[in-house]
Amino acid sequence: MGNPAVDYAIPAGALSKLTARRGTSNDVAMKDIPSKMTSRREFLKDTTRLAATTALAGLALPRVHAAGSDLIQVALVGCGGRGTGATANALSTKSGPVKLVAMADVFPERLASSFENLKKQFGERADVPGDRQFIGFDAYKKAMDCLKPGDVAIFATPPAFRWVHFTYAIEKGLNVFMEKPVTVDGPTSKRMFKLAEAATAKNLKVGVGLMSRHSRALQELAKRVHDGEIGELILQRGYRMHGPVGYFSSLPKPAGISELMYQVQRFHSFIWASGGCYSDFYIHIIDHLGWLKNSWPVKAQALGARHYRTSPEGITYVDQNCDVYGVEYTYADGTKFNFDGRCMTGCQDIYASYLHGTKGSAIGSKNGDCGMPSSLFKGQMPKRSEMIWESKVNAGEGDPYQNEWNDLVDAIRNDRPYSEVKRGVEASLVTSMGRMAAHTGQEITFEDMLDCDHEMAPGLDKLTSDSPAPLQAKADGRYPVPMPGITRKREY
């Protein structure tokens, strides 16, 4: 799925239920696009930072994994709720033995809690003694060093670190499962496109945690929509509106923790780390509506507002998020996709996606990121009397989180081509495009987002616990926030 005329891709050859699942991601732990966008053919010529990765593509891995054994070993990098959940899915696959052998995080208490939970559930398959539990910003290397070529590394840290960890995995010849989003700005998106090519050239299998693509209900809906059962799509609507979850809002940094560790810990509050709540919370619905359209939006205009910025105790929140977002995406054919996001207590909750076509309408996700059932209607009102189809899923295939792992491990064991990185970067860019439109008050195109030179956290591959944080607080303890119409070329 994608825009065939766009050549930003590499040329050929080169908690609560909400927080526990992917809605809040990782605790740290088409149609043609206007022709000017084809200039992306040239962008890789300027990405010298990753010149060395071309050498990684020299040899394709053989079909065997884990030194010829049927055993697939796993290392978890980022041991929060999402990383623990992804590991549980890996260990629950049925096609052959899988064992967790190493873990890495920057917070020891998170690693300990994750290991305890996994050990309780999976026993000896969670085989991570103390000398394979690693803490620190270089812990990802030590965990991956415990694996053999063909094993799997899970990346469930904030997305700012994705390119750093992926680079090392490719060097080590490891298959990868990485959580969404995979990028939050233009420079790292270009970097990840390059890395995607290097991984494919080495025959590595890479899954990306956009689990809607593995929902059997949405897969069937996509086929029916693409076959024209509700005609030409004329409007899409997406909503994620509920109370604050995850680390959406943050109070001033307390004593006893460094600025860097505070921002990594509360990553949803900081755009550099996660893309903020917009990227981390909203990407799933944005991704699956793009898939159902079989295209990506080419531009966005948006509103964002910060309404309630003090705690019940009267302390000012210092995070960078808006409380509400309203984004109008436009596809190349002029079709609109409206997305509304809100994190407020006491308001009506809506968490769903809808499609309207010339011959009828559809519910994509009934509740949540990809909540079943999906359904089709002969009119524009989703009334049961108007329903013409409703999804039914075979036993054992109802959990898209498990399905994505079954699909990845099947590709590894049977040596099938498998890479979701390019699409993951595209989905991340489209999400960031809407976020930047809201934060700047400008119309932002896909090309604007890709070519924006604001790398929010450069040098993360050299980060140590003593490094300064990528974002610095002002004297009053607050951080720079978006100022639409004033700060127009970057988000803060």
Q: How far apart (Å, rounded) are the C-alpha atoms in residues 3 and 295?
A: 6
Decide which of 348 and 55 is more confident. Answer: 348
Average pLDDT over residues 469-485: 95
> How does 359-374 read in b/e, with b if 16+ C-beta sit within 10 Å?
ebbbbbbbebbbbbbb
Overall pTM surpassing 0.85 (yes/no): yes
d(CA 19, CA 106): 20
pLDDT in tens, 118-135: 999 999 999 999 999 999
Domains of the chain: 17-212+402-419 (3.40.50.720), 213-396+429-444 (3.30.360.10)
Q: Read out DSSP for 129-151?
A: -GGGEEESTTHHHHHHTTS-TT-
Helix (H, G, I), strand (E, B) or coil at 54: helix
pLDDT at 41: 37
Q: In whole angstroms, give the CA distance from residue 111 to residue 104.
A: 7
pLDDT recorded at residue 308? 87
Section 132-150 average pLDDT: 98
Q: Residue 152, CB half-sphere, CA atoms under 13 Å: how many? A: 29
Flag whether pLDDT at 57 surpasses 80. Answer: no
Instruction: Give the pLDDT band (50/70/90) at residue 65.
Output: low
Burial of 400 (0-12, 13-18, 19+ CB in 10 A): buried
Task: Evaluate if residue 33 carries a pLDDT over 50.
Answer: no
Say how far apart CA 222 and CA 220 lie, in whole Å. 5
Over residues 6-18, mean pLDDT: 32
Q: Is 419 helix (H, G, I), strand (E, B) or coil?
A: strand
CA 170, 174, 175, 176 torsion-angle sign: negative
pLDDT, tens digit, 9 for 90 and up, residues 185-237 = 999 999 999 999 999 999 999 999 999 999 999 999 999 999 999 999 999 99
**What is the mean predicted confidence (pLDDT) over 71-85?**
98
Q: What pLDDT sits at residue 155?
A: 99
Q: pLDDT digit string (tens) for 331-386? A: 999 999 999 999 999 999 999 999 999 999 999 999 999 999 999 999 999 999 99
Per DSSP bridges, beta strands 336-343 and 233-242 are parallel
Strands (E), 38-174: 72-77, 98-105, 133-135, 152-155
Cα dihedral sign, 44-48-51-52: negative
What is the pLDDT, as a whole number, of residue 203?
A: 98
Mean pLDDT of all residues belonging to the chain: 89
Residue percentage of the chain with pLDDT more than 90: 84
CA distances from 381 to 235, 285, 354, 355 (A): 13, 20, 10, 11
